[in-house]
Amino acid sequence: IRMDYDLWIFADRPHREAFCKSAIMGISFEGVDYFDTTTRSGGMKGYIAKHFQLFDQKAPNMERTMYLTLLAENAMLNPSFLLSDFIEYEDVDSVSCRAAITFNGVRGEGVFCFDKENGVLKFESQQRQTEELEDGTVRYIGWRCEGGNFHSGNEFKVPSFCKVTKIFPDREVVYF
């Protein structure tokens, strides 16, 4: 499915807003990622045919979720963001590094893995995505963002695709 994706990233703090638009068999779908800095809560709303709300997905620790999404997106779309004062790095091995982002007392971390030319291929975190179990408890599951087929953009290489996967204990689900 082809999707148009508009992303707003704020330079003075780790904050993002996103809007995606697509269609299936002529029926439009729109998704909006939002975060309210006053209440420090947010989520993603999805609409079909511009008028019918399908969902308003909220998650615990939405602020950390947003920060980790920023790390993954910016590695591929706006790498200068990764030089921000609120991000720290630690080597894992010759092709991986752990990144931690901390802002307003909220911290999240994940691991970047690089290809042979040092283009980011993958960011994975065990702190971004949650799953609600049958008994109502919430647990963290894995989350991975991958970009590939890098080509020259304006000043740096950009991926020609991005794939986002939820990693459950028994399966992986690509949802974007």
Global pTM value: 0.82
- The model's pLDDT over 61-81, given as tens digits with 9 standing for 90+, comes to 888 998 999 999 888 888 888
- The model's pLDDT over 95-105, given as tens digits with 9 standing for 90+, comes to 999 999 999 89
Q: What is residue 118's predicted lDDT score, i.e. its pLDDT?
A: 54
- Owner of token pair 């800095």: 37
- C-alpha distances out from residue 127 to 2, 38, 48, 65, 171, Å: 28, 23, 30, 8, 17
Query: Cα(44)–Cα(16) distance, rounded to whole angstroms?
Result: 12
- Encoded tokens for 8: 């707003």
Is the four-CA dihedral 91, 169, 123, 63 of positive or negative sign?
Answer: negative
- The model's pLDDT over 89-130, given as tens digits with 9 standing for 90+, comes to 999 999 999 999 999 899 999 999 987 665 558 999 999 988
Query: Cα(143)–Cα(150) distance, rounded to whole angstroms?
Result: 21
Nearest to 72, CA basis, from 46, 42, 33, 39 = 33
| 150 vs 19, residue with greater confidence | 19
- Classify residue 43 as exposed, middle or buried by CB count within 10 Å of its CB (0-12, 13-18, 19+): middle
Three-state DSSP class for 34? strand
